[in-house]
Structure 1
Amino acid sequence: MSFHQLRDFLATLQLNNNKEWMDLHRKEYYDVRDFYIEWLEAMNDKLAAIDPNYFDTPGKKAINRINNNLMFHPTKPIYKDHFGAGLDQQSKEGDFYIEIGLNGAYIGGGYWHPSSKKLKSIREAIDYNGDDFFKILNKKSFKKMFGDMIEGVVLKTAPRGYAQDHKHIELLRRKSFAVSCSFSEKEVANSNFDDRVIEVYKEMLPFRRYLNKAVSV
């Protein structure tokens, strides 16, 4: 089994995105899913070996469902066009997210539209020590790998309790704090893909740890 076969399965699934087809190809689905879980298990061990504070996340816990949530997104197809998972996962937020899909891989981390309580905690951390977060975001290697944080909803003015001329007002106005990078299908198939994932993990780690510490205080 390989990522190429995983991609082929997903491509065929998107042409037959219905429960009837999935029921007929359930064994093929489980074969591909098990391959991804095994890869996650191996990556889980590799990341734990380099990060003493890594939160052990077995593959079966890490992997997400392939079904879309039709209750909140009724117009979406039944099945996703990717396999997604969250490693270093103490909670569903703030984990190290890895998605393998039709166009390669997508890796992300941080907090996308966190709850008002968590957003409040992140803003308090930035207010108290935003300089450290600013340094993380502007580190040359970090910028090269991720660019800027993913665009999201931004307040037009300062959030309640903060001055408009706060030195980190651009950060405080944000409602999401997440970064990502992508790999092509060819890069995913390369023998050094695991090493590339580890590089991304290391570079993203200070960013994730800052945010996770903020919401856990």
Structure 2
Amino acid sequence: MSNTVPKQSFDFLKKLAKNNHRDWMTENKKEYLESEKMLKQFYAEILSGLSETDEIEKQKIFRINRDIRFSKDKTPYNVHRSISWSRAGVHRRGGYYLRLEPGNSLMAGGFFSPEPKDLLRIRKEFEIDSQPIREILSNKCFNMYFNGFNQKFVVKTAPKGFKKEGPNIDLIRLKSFFVTRNFTDEEVFAPSFNKNLISYYELFRPYFDYMSEVLTTDLNGESLL
């Protein structure tokens, strides 16, 4: 793979963080567009790599403009660049995510804020039998790079209809089911970053396959498709 994350993109984001207003962005729009062009070449490499072992339906590049309608922070621009790749077909669940930000880059994969029907189905599955998901999360290769589900989004005690003293309440309390891995700037700029990133994403596949089966069957294991 030839394309890497351009250092110019991080240079631009660092300057944006210090000059986060529309006048500055207008004056530096050319640099921004050049940075985006180079990043899109990098994204294309990742998409190509993912497509070798998975079916990707959609690539979404998140806007640099922030939605400030309901935020106390009125700075107009994100100081990171983010992208996601969605898997194709109702029988393939899960998605890949990447955020590039000076000093704060990360990758993620899984299920972020699933719709209520899916969330209940996942929780019911974990309530009945948590062994499959715990085996996936504790797999040696998987656990080498990811440290379990992100614990940022949880209910305080137990969701409605679930016992707070249940043996699997640690999983049931979660509102999202995704894992993350952070990267230093040195790792991001390394020539091997493309290859490494794709190999990390491929570690998600057993998890995605398991969750896809859960979300396309009922509690008796009967197909919903």
TM-score interval (norm. to shorter): 0.7 to 0.9
Kindly indicate whether the alpha-carbon contact (under 8 Å) linking 1:109 and 1:180 is maintained by their aligned counterparts in 2.
yes
Q: Deviations over 1:69-106 (max 9, x none)?
A: 11232415211111100023559x94200111111531
Give the direction of change, closer, same or farther, for the CA distance of 1:215–1:25 in structure 2 (3 Å limit): farther
In 1, the alpha carbon distance for the partners of 2:136 and 2:168 equals: 14
Contact 2:45 2:194 in 1 (8 A): no
CA distance in 2 between counterparts of 1:174 and 1:198 reads 27
For residue 194 of structure 2, give the secondary structure of its aligned residue in structure 1.
Answer: helix
1:3-28 Cα offsets, whole Å, 9 max, x none, are 21110011111111111111122121
Corresponding residue pairs, total: 211
Cα shift at 1:49: 0.7
**1:43 to partner: Cα distance:** 1.1
Alpha-carbon separation, structure 1, partners of 2:153 and 2:60: 28
Q: Which residue is 2:222 aligned to?
A: none
Provide Cα deviations, 1:86-136, integer angstroms capped at 9, x if missing partner: 023559x94200111111531012233333333112112323543211111
Q: Which residue of 2 aligns with 1:125?
A: 125
Structure whose residues are more often helix by fraction: 1
Determine the structure 2 residue equivalent to 1:87: 85
CA contact (8 A) 1:104 1:188 kept: no
Counterpart in the other structure of 1:183: 183
The CA distance in 1 between the partners of 2:201 and 2:214, in whole Å, is 19
Relative CO higher for 1 or 2, CA cutoff 8 Å, sep ≥ 6? 2
Letter of the 2:79 partner, please give it. D
For 1:214 and 1:113, locate their aligned partners in 2 and report how far apart those are by CA, in whole Å. 16
SS of aligned partner of 1:23: helix
Deviates more, 1:125-134 or 1:186-195: 125-134
* 1:206 corresponds to: 206
User: Contact between 1:104 and 1:186, CA under 8 Å: does it hold in 2?
Assistant: no
Equivalent residue, structure 1, for 2:63: 65
2 CA distance for matches of 1:2 and 1:153?
Answer: 30
CA 1:205–1:13: 2 relative to 1, 3 Å = same
Counterpart amino acid of residue 30 in structure 1 = L
SS at match of 1:178: strand
Change (3 A) 1:80 1:164: closer
Structure 2 counterpart of 1:45: 48
How far, CA to CA, are the matches of 1:180 and 1:211 in structure 2? Answer: 17
Distance 1:4 1:120, change over 3 A: same
**Judging changes above 3 Å, is the alpha-carbon distance between structure 1 residues 215 and 74 closer, same or farther for their aligned structure 2 residues?**
farther
Q: 8 Å contact 1:110–1:211 — kept in the other structure?
A: no
Normalising by structure 2, what TM-score? Answer: 0.82
Change in CA separation of 1:74 and 1:160 when aligned onto 2, cut-off 3 Å? closer
Distance 1:25 1:157 in 2: 48
SS at match of 1:96: strand
Unaligned residue ranges in structure 2 (runs of 5+): 218-225
